Structure 1
Amino acid sequence: MDVLSDVITVARTGRPRSAYVRWHAPWRQQFATVPGSAGFQVILEGRSWLLSPHAAPVELGAGDVLFLPHGTGHTLADSPSTAVASPACTPACTPGDPELPGPYTSDSVDLLGQGGPATVVLCGAYQLDPSRTHPLLLTLPDLIHLPAEPGRHPELHAAVQLLASEVGNPRLGTAATVPAILDTLLMYILRIWFAEQPTHGSVTGWAAALNDPAVTAALHAVHRDPAAPWTVAELAAEAGLSRATFARRFTLMIGQPPLGYLTWWRMTTAARLLRATEAPLRSIAAQVGYTSEFAFANAFKRAHGLAPGAYRRMS
């Protein structure tokens, strides 16, 4: 596994959801802030405006992608001047609601308005587990806007078209297909955003780390084999740097020293295994680098505030 793949695998809980919505002008839809979630909207047809009390309106066209990694509230409308509120949005547009039905909305939703020009939006939601949220996600801005530009990001637009086809026209296998495409869509959004961030020498953080071959090599080593008895010197060798240079660069970019990140990742992986599997504690301990079940239990309790058995029972 690489870092970005693991971020998605570990952070998401439950099943992602998606829906296909058609609004007819005039329309205005407010999306509430929902902590512990991430949501997206893709403009498939027509145009709309992203409205915020803290920024100028942004016009959106067909193919534009909005990603809200922290479930931040926002408003879409056919025009900045439209004041009328549309009927309640389809449930899949409201991430994090425990009452949401199923992994996808099988019927498209047509909100008539007054019969004006139509805007078709593909919207979806991921519910995240705050206790397992990777720091990479925490560093993302409240809103990521990827404008549609001819010839750019063809894989992202291909995933959007696949998802729109499945959600707008459910068939045999759609229930299995939609979550997989949603994960693919999320992967492409994150990959594109991180690849387009500045990487000059004064930039730090996860965007810089994922564009730094040395730090990325060490991160991939940790994620590939968290059970290995890594030392700073061994991770520096993976990075192709001296021990001191590697430790300094890793800590500056990631925000914690290499072995601190290793321990955090081991405990996060252990938490996922406790929730998702019935594997015995000794097996989970071995998978995250502990030969002693007692030592593993102590480390897990320091990280999560509960012994592994108690954590599993509460999941």
Structure 2
Amino acid sequence: MDVVSDAISAVHLGHPWFHRMRTDGTWCARLDPYDGAGFYVVVKGRCWLVTDNRAPVLLGVGDAVLLPHGTGHVIADFPIDPATARTEAVPFEESLAGQPEPPTGREPCGTEVICGTYWLDCSRMHPLMAELPEIVHLPHRVGDHPELRAAVDLLAGELDEVKCGSCVALPSLLDLLLVYMIRAWMTEARDGTWPRVLGDPVTAAALRALHSDPGAPWSTGRLAAEAGVSRPTLARRFTALVGRPPMAYLTWWRLVRAATLLRDTQDTLAAIAGRVGYGSPYALSHAFQREFGVTPGRYRAQATARSAAVGAG
């Protein structure tokens, strides 16, 4: 596993919810903050995205947007003044139930948007995910991010008509969309910490080694050899970029991996301890409780209940 894949897998819960909005009248919908990441892809027309903390964003055909922290927002058709959108907005579910007639003098815009939510467990967010801005806006530009554009086209094609295998294809395409949106942000980010981290060959090599086998008996010397530098060089560069020394990062990541395995598998605590580099279930349990404030058993019960609630939703 690479860092980006691991960062997503650590928080991703269940299958994403999605909907295709087709509107012929004016509309203005409000979503309150939620535990997840929202997305929009504009297939036709234009619309506004309005949040509390930044200027309104005008979205056009082919634009993709990720709201990685479940920020409350308003989305509205283009003729609506974004300055008044909050006062005109109705709850999103009500907006889906039926569109109001456009006021006199305002022509329908014929907007079509693919939207949805990725359910996330934000209790142990990787710093790469935590660093994502409130809105990741990826405007459609010819030649930019071909993988993202291909995923958008495939997703729209699957939604155009029911096809064999769609129940498998759609969730997979939506998961690809999330990966490609984060990847696109990383290539465009000018001042982000984690794009710099993964752009540094020494730190990136060390992180690849740790994430590929977190249960291995790593030491600073062994990790420095993997990265092809001295121990002082690795410690200095890794700590400066990541914000913690290599072995401290490894300890934290082992516990996050243990939490993910408790959530996603039925493996025993002893088996999980072996996979993440702890010599005994007791050692893992002690470290886990110190990091997360709950025992592994209690964490697994809470995670099971949370996943069941997501599945029911």
Q: TM-score, normalised by structure 2?
A: 0.86
Instruction: Specify the alignment match of 1:2 in structure 2.
Output: 2
Does structure 1 retain, via aligned residues, the 8 Å contact 2:273–2:284? yes
- Write the letter of the residue equivalent to 2:222: E
CA distance in 2, matches of 1:151, 1:43: 18
2:170 corresponds in structure 1 to 178
CA deviations over 1:207-248 (Å, ceiling 9, x no partner): 210211211111111110001111112222222222112112
Query: Residue 96 of structure 1 corresponds to which residue in structure 2?
Result: none
Instruction: Give the secondary-structure state (helix, strand or coil) at the position aligned to 1:296.
Output: helix
Q: Cα distance, 1:18 vs. partner?
A: 1.0
SS of the equivalent of 2:92 reads: coil
In the alignment, what sits opposite 1:43?
42
**Cα displacement (A) at 1:64:** 0.6
Aligned equivalent of 2:243: 255
Match of 2:271 among 274, 283, 305: 283
Q: CA RMSD in A?
A: 2.3
Q: Is the 8 A contact 1:17 1:125 kept in 2?
A: yes
Moved more, 279-288 or 244-253: 244-253
Q: Deviation per CA, 1:230-268: give whole Å up to 9, x if none.
A: 111222222222211211221122122111111111111
1:63 corresponds in structure 2 to: 62
Structure 2 residue ranges without an equivalent (≥5): 304-313
Return the offset for 1:161.
1.8
Matched residue SS, 1:265: helix
Greater helix proportion: 2
Deviation at 1:120, TM superposition (A): 0.5
Structure 2 equivalent of residue 19 of structure 1: 19
Name 1:123's counterpart in structure 2.
115
Unaligned residue ranges in structure 1 (runs of 5+): 94-107
Q: Which stretch shifts more, 289-298 or 149-158?
A: 289-298
SS for the counterpart of 1:111 is coil
- Tell me which amino acid in the other structure corresponds to 2:62: G
Write the distance in 2 (CA, Å) between the matches of 1:283 and 1:52.
45
Deviation at 1:53, TM superposition (A): 4.9
Q: Secondary structure at the match of 1:19?
A: strand
Aligned residues of 1:21 and 1:90 also touching (Cα < 8 A)? no
C-alpha distance in 1 between matches for 2:162 and 2:282: 50
Per-residue deviation, 1:10: 1.5
2:153 counterpart residue number: 161
Shift of the alpha carbon at 1:89? 2.6
Q: 2:31 touches 2:91 (CA, 8 Å); kept in 1?
A: no
Partner secondary structure for residue 18 of structure 1: strand
**Given that residues 25 and 99 in structure 2 are in contact (C-alpha distance below 8 angstroms), is that contact kept between their aligned partners in structure 1?**
no
Amino acid at match of 1:118: G
Q: Deviations over 1:69-117 (max 9, x none)?
A: 10112222223527574654359x9xxxxxxxxxxxxxx9773643612
CA distance in 2, matches of 1:217, 1:226: 14
The one-letter amino acid paired with 1:279 is: D
The separation in 1 between residues aligned to 2:75 and 2:268, in whole angstroms, is 48
Contact 1:19/1:124 (CA < 8 Å) preserved in 2? yes
Amino acid at match of 2:114: L
Name the TM-score, length of structure 1 as normaliser: 0.86
Task: Indicate the larger mover: 204-213 or 163-172.
Answer: 163-172
Distance 1:237 1:166, change over 3 A: same
